Amino acid sequence: MNVKQFIDEKLEEWVLIISFILLTAIIFAQVIFRYVFSYSIGWSEELGRYILIWIAWISASYAVRRKQHIRIEMVKNKFSVKIQKWIEAVVLLLWFYFAMFLAIEGTKLVMNIQVTGQTSPSMGLPMWAVYIAIPLGGVLMSIRLVQQFYFLFKSDQ
């Protein structure tokens, strides 16, 4: 598997796997320290929350790639295959518009937060680093939606 193929097919999956392992380890350590040693790791809950936010946004892109988002297809399935493709194209375009909205408005949000210099309470992380997951998720979804649009009409040939 070459680098391009890895980035296209496996990058999000590996990032999610590593993130889940890290999240599980942090929360497990927090539970052990709290209930066995009666000591709380103050930053662990905050970091766990931020990792979960990133997982949610990257998972949205991964679900687009795998065609795993929840859909209501009852109406679409009543039409012929040709019309179904056009309905799917309209849905992908609308979804792309929403993903680009997230990317653009999320970038504005991140820039506003960066100007304020806000940091997280326990870890002192710059909050823009947490919120950058929103525009990143929007950009990744947009890329995956363009791919899905391409695959939709490529199969016509």
Give the residue extent of every domain in the chain.
Answer: 3-154
- Bridge partners (DSSP) listed for residue 126: 119
Res 11: pLDDT: 87
Tokens describing residue 10: 């496996």
- Bridge partners (DSSP) listed for residue 119: 126
Of the candidates 145, 141, 110, the one whose C-alpha atom is nearest the C-alpha of residue 127 is 110
Burial of 88 from C-beta contacts in 10 A (0-12 / 13-18 / 19+): middle
pTM of the model: 0.85
Name 125's Cβ contacts closer than 8 Å, sequence gap at least 6.
50, 119
pLDDT 10s per residue in the chain (157 long)? Answer: 788 788 778 888 999 999 999 999 999 999 999 999 988 888 999 999 999 999 999 999 999 988 888 877 888 888 888 888 999 999 999 999 999 999 999 999 999 999 999 999 989 999 999 999 999 999 999 999 999 999 888 865 4
Res 155: pLDDT: 61
Res 111: pLDDT: 96
